[in-house]
């Protein structure tokens, strides 16, 4: 199943493809054709998963997208104090190519404008047999997770139209900001601008910054966390030049644009977003890129104010129902059916918050489920908060499941996703155990053998007595009393002395115990053909659980007095009875396993 995250991005791409505003940056090799219809969106998470739609594999020039990367390299090599001596960290409010230098110090306002980028490039020198541009290429490659190269033809075309930047270089040199040959600094800057990338590359590079400087795909550190902190801070205030204020208000993520048509936006701790579309607005930013970032940030609640918490997977566990069964005690036939077909139903437990990162991780998990999975229990009882994005994505995935003939059952006692699963929705449950039991019943209805879930089982057909001869079973049955109970009526109460063995003819019995905190919880549910009451076998033993009718129930009871009389009148049959009950109890413990333990999440 396609992820609803990817489906959403496809919708954004389709809608914004209709935008025809803007003019592409036309400086480049004379034989290079720029297609204004090129449009790609890529979103990379901090665990290395990439969603991409549109033109995401076509190479284009980094241009000013190179500025924060080189700034990070200079900070790493020289330290913030040395870099601050040449470049300030204040927003300029000016276009990217302005002669924006401090009157008192001569320093450029920040490293995102051309003057600041030229100053930064002058600080990066050749070393260890590698030229400055080779070292820059290798550094950029750590972000992308693949080797990147500068394009010589693009560089030469840029060099032929660089009079203004050349003038900036000499101005910076005269102010003492650039040491050495200003032309060499310009060449390094233009070569870094000519490094070729794809939209997918940019998303991974942005996710590397979001991941504290470590590439989420390769696991290689590209930048220290201290340097990332400085780079993202300057990107937030200055990365979009004279459009920075509007960007912070409407998008709210550190970002950088390039006249090649690319934009990156970084949601720290959660994701990196990249857009490629050549037509530019008056600020030199991609028209479709800005529109896409605004819409995605709004819809996915990626503004830093809304997504201030560090993102992490919301998935606590994902198990099939045969590995995490309900507390309903099943017959041998039913247990066999669930062991064979339990993989067709999953139990996904969530915890934490469902903001962007948490929601994305859940959507990816659900989208990756095997086609054989027919039902999914989603337990959000451990979720603290759910965003509007979570509501939208869960609505989409529920609709998709239903279209495919599958279903989602939600455990939501605190109404976290009430907009998707209202209180009266049949697919919403208060406890995980009830939802899992419903999945099991659906599997038994579809794949179970006849009689695997009988509505009525007479005593003579009780599995607990199956090892006895028919005559012995009839003799024991003759000692029993028939009793009926209404819904919610207590059959046996905790603390009572042994009252005999109870055989369920029809209906269900809830066995209620206590968890480690003393809370009353349902331990198991017993159905027709099953027994209870056989755990307290002596005069000094007490009932440790409460048995309560779940709907109308009919029982046959072999009372304590009847058992005592049987032991006196027919010791052989009494021994056979206890052997049969012991065998049945052993079987239940063996096949039920964890289902016999109270679920603290109920």
Q: What is the per-residue pLDDT for 50?
A: 98
Task: Looking at the structure, tell me whether residues 346 and 435 fall in a common domain.
Answer: yes
Q: What is the per-residue pLDDT for 431?
A: 87
Q: How confident is the model at residue 602 (pLDDT cuts 50, 70, 90)?
A: very low
pLDDT top residue among 220 and 384? 220
pLDDT at 71 over 70: yes
Q: What is the per-residue pLDDT for 99?
A: 60
pLDDT at 585 over 90: no
Residue 66 in any domain: the answer is yes
Residue 503 in any domain: the answer is yes
Task: Looking at the structure, tell me whether residues 185 and 326 fall in a common domain.
Answer: no
447, 476, 509 - which closes a domain: 447
pLDDT at 290 over 90: yes
What pLDDT, in 10s, does the model give residues 488-540? 999 998 888 888 999 999 999 988 888 777 788 877 888 888 898 855 444 45
Task: Looking at the structure, tell me whether residues 237 and 113 fall in a common domain.
Answer: yes
pLDDT top residue among 544 and 542? 544
Residue 429 in any domain: the answer is yes
Task: Looking at the structure, tell me whether residues 87 and 147 fall in a common domain.
Answer: yes
CA gyration radius, the chain: 34
Task: Looking at the structure, tell me whether residues 487 and 538 fall in a common domain.
Answer: yes
What pLDDT, in 10s, does the model give residues 384-424? 889 999 999 999 999 999 999 999 999 999 999 999 999 88
Q: What is the per-residue pLDDT for 388?
A: 92
Task: Looking at the structure, tell me whether residues 443 and 487 fall in a common domain.
Answer: no
* CATH code assigned at 381: 3.30.750.24
pLDDT at 592 over 70: no
Q: What is the per-residue pLDDT for 588?
A: 62
Task: Looking at the structure, tell me whether residues 240 and 367 fall in a common domain.
Answer: no
pLDDT at 46 over 80: yes
Q: What is the per-residue pLDDT for 2?
A: 92
* CATH code assigned at 149: 3.40.710.10
What pLDDT, in 10s, does the model give residues 467-490? 999 999 999 999 999 999 999 999
Residue 236 in any domain: the answer is yes
Residue 601 in any domain: the answer is no
Range of the domain at 528: 459-596
Q: What is the per-residue pLDDT for 539?
A: 45
Q: Please write down the long-range contacts of 309-313, taking CB distance under 8 Å and 24 or more positions apart.
A: 309/269, 309/353, 309/355, 310/268, 310/269, 310/270, 311/45, 311/46, 311/267, 311/269, 311/270, 311/271, 311/355, 311/356, 311/357, 311/358, 312/352, 312/357, 312/358, 312/361, 313/47, 313/357, 313/358, 313/361
Task: Looking at the structure, tell me whether residues 181 and 270 fall in a common domain.
Answer: yes
Task: Looking at the structure, tell me whether residues 467 and 441 fall in a common domain.
Answer: no
- Pick the range with the lowest mean pLDDT from 294-303, 406-415, 587-596: 587-596
Q: What is the per-residue pLDDT for 449?
A: 66
* Count: domains in the chain: 3
pLDDT at 582 over 80: yes
Tell me the average pLDDT of the chain.
Answer: 90
- Between CA 356 and CA 341 the distance in angstroms is 34
414, 447, 480 - which closes a domain: 447
Question: In b/e form, how buried is each residue of 316-341, taking b as 16+ CB within 10 angstroms?
Answer: eebbbbbebbbbbbbbebbbebbeeb
Task: Looking at the structure, tell me whether residues 501 and 556 fall in a common domain.
Answer: yes
* CATH code assigned at 490: 2.60.120.10
299, 331, 365 - which closes a domain: 299
Q: Give the CA count within 13 Å in the CB-facing half-sphere of 203.
A: 28
Task: Looking at the structure, tell me whether residues 100 and 181 fall in a common domain.
Answer: yes
pLDDT at 15 over 60: yes
Q: Give the CA count within 13 Å in the CB-facing half-sphere of 249.
A: 4
Question: pLDDT > 90: what percent of the chain?
Answer: 72
What pLDDT, in 10s, does the model give residues 111-151? 999 999 999 999 999 998 899 999 999 999 999 999 999 99
Rounded to 5°, the CA angle 528-534-539 comes to: 150
pLDDT at 270 over 90: yes
Q: What is the per-residue pLDDT for 94?
A: 62
Q: What is the per-residue pLDDT for 105?
A: 74
Q: What is the per-residue pLDDT for 594?
A: 41
């Amino acid at each position: 199943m396609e992820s609803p995250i990817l489906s959403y991005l496809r919708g954004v791409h389709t809608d914004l493809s209709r935008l025809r505003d803007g003019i592409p940056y036309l400086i480049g090799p004379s034989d290079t054709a720029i297609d204004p219809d090129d449009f790609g969106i890529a979103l990379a998470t901090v665990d290395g998963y990439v969603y991409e739609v549109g033109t995401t594999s076509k190479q284009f020039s980094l241009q000013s997208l190179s500025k924060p990367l080189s700034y990070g390299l200079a900070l790493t090599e020289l330290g913030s104090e040395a870099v601050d001596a040449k470049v300030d960290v204040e927003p300029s409010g000016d276009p990217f190519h302005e002669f924006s230098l401090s009157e008192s110090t001569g320093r450029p306002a920040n490293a995102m404008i051309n003057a600041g980028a030229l100053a930064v490039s002058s600080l990066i020198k050749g070393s260890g047999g590698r030229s400055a541009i080779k070292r820059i290429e290798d550094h950029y490659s750590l972000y992308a997770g693949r080797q990147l190269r500068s394009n010589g033809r693009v560089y030469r075309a840029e060099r032929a139209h660089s009079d203004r930047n050349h003038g900036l270089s000499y101005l910076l040199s005269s102010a003492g900001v650039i040491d050495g040959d200003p032309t060499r600094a310009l060449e390094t800057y233009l070569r870094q601008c000519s490094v070729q990338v794809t939209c997918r590359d940019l998303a991974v590079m942005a996710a590397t910054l979001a991941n504290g400087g470590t590439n989420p795909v390769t696991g290689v550190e590209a930048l220290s966390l201290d340097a990332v902190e400085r780079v993202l801070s300057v990107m937030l205030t200055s990365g979009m030049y004279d459009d920075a204020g509007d960007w912070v208000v409407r998008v709210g993520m550190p970002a950088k644009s390039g006249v090649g048509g690319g934009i990156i936006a970084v949601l720290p701790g959660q994701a990196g977003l990249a857009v490629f579309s050549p037509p530019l607005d008056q600020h030199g930013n991609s028209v479709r890129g800005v529109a896409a970032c605004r819409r995605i940030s709004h819809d996915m609640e990626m503004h830093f104010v809304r997504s201030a918490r560090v993102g992490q997977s919301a998935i606590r566990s994902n198990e099939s129902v045969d590995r995490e069964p309900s507390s309903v005690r099943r017959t041998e036939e039913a247990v066999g059916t669930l062991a064979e077909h339990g993989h067709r139903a999953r139990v996904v437990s969530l915890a934490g918050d469902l903001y962007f990162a948490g929601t994305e991780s859940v959507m990816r998990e659900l989208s990756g489920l095997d086609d054989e999975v027919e039902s999914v229990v989603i337990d959000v009882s451990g979720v603290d908060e759910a965003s509007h994005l979570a509501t939208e994505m869960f609505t989409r995935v529920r609709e998709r499941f239903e279209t495919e003939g599958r279903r989602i059952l939600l455990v939501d006692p605190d109404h976290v996703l009430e907009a998707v699963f209202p209180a009266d929705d049949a697919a919403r449950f208060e406890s995980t155990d009830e939802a899992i039991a419903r999945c099991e019943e659906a599997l038994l209805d579809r794949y179970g053998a006849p009689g695997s879930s009988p509505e009525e089982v007479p005593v003579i057909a009780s599995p607990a007595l199956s090892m006895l001869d028919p005559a012995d079973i009839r003799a024991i049955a003759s000692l029993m009393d028939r009793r009926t109970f209404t819904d919610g009526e207590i059959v046996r109460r905790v603390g009572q002395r042994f009252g005999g063995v109870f055989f369920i003819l029809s209906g269900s019995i809830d066995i209620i115990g206590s968890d480690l905190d003393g809370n009353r919880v349902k331990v198991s549910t017993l159905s027709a053909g099953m027994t209870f009451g056989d755990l307290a076998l002596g005069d000094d033993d007490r009932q440790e659980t409460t048995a309560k009718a779940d709907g109308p129930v009919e029982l046959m009871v072999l009372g304590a007095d009847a058992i005592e009389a049987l032991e006196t009148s027919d010791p052989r049959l009494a021994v056979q009875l206890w052997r049969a009950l012991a065998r049945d109890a052993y079987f239940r413990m063996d096949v039920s396993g964890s289902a016999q333990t109270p679920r603290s999440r109920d």
